[in-house]
Amino acid sequence: MASTNDLKNGLVLNIDGQLWSVVEFQHVKPGKGPAFVRTKLKNVLSGKTVDKTFNAGVKVETATVDRRDMQYLYQDGADYVFMDSSTFEQTMVPAETVGDVARFMLENQDVIVAMHEGRVLYVDLPPSVVLEITYTEPGLQGDRSSAGTKPATLATGHEIQVPLFVEQGTRVKVDTRSGDYLGRVND
């Protein structure tokens, strides 16, 4: 149990048997009336976002979420297999739980797997990853401006928009939250 005064971003609350992560919060002390805490909560499993207001000082139930460093090994049918980096124990995670992050996962990539009471809640990637462009149309001579973009296929099979000057075989940095091209990587 925690007080609403202890809320912070990323804290997971157990409200009516469902797990909700605090996205943002604001303590409000109006000139008249009692203080309260306005929060934006995200359902850990469904991703649904809601606004909820708590009276200041009210006790809320917190949930223990274990975030483990794991390595993505391979896809087995509809499941993804991850290995705990410290115990070498393998965990199978259904595709629905992995979700959109699969667009940016390569085999042997390090990820963070969040678990609650032995159940996988979600898989988290770093804010950006480096991937190779496996296919893109060649840019036309003279098209070296940064204004235009073209589609490019990543090593994971996902397609993103890149500037015209990016060629096949180039390693690029990609934002895992939005899927945006962030720049070329020179090794």
Of 164, 99, 111, 155, nearest to 131 (Cα)?
A: 155
In this predicted structure, the answer to whether residue 82 has a pLDDT above a threshold of 60 is: yes
User: What pLDDT score does 92 carry?
Assistant: 92
Of 112, 107, 116, nearest to 72 (Cα)?
A: 107
Mean of pLDDT over the chain: 88
Q: What is the pLDDT of residues 103-150, one digit of tens each?
A: 999 899 999 998 988 888 888 888 899 999 999 888 665 555 556 788
pLDDT band at 44 (very low <50, low <70, confident <90, very high): confident
User: What pLDDT score does 4 carry?
Assistant: 85
Give the 3-state DSSP-derived string for 41-105, with helices as H, strands as E and coil as C.
Answer: EEECCCCCEEEEEEECCCEECECCCEEEEEEEEEEECCEEEEEECCCCCEEEEEHHHHHHHHHHC
Beta strand segments in 117-156, E: 119-124, 128-136, 149-154
In this predicted structure, the answer to whether residue 160 has a pLDDT above a threshold of 60 is: yes
Domains in the chain, ordered, with CATH?
Answer: 2-60 (2.30.30.30), 66-124 (2.40.50.140), 128-184 (2.40.50.140)
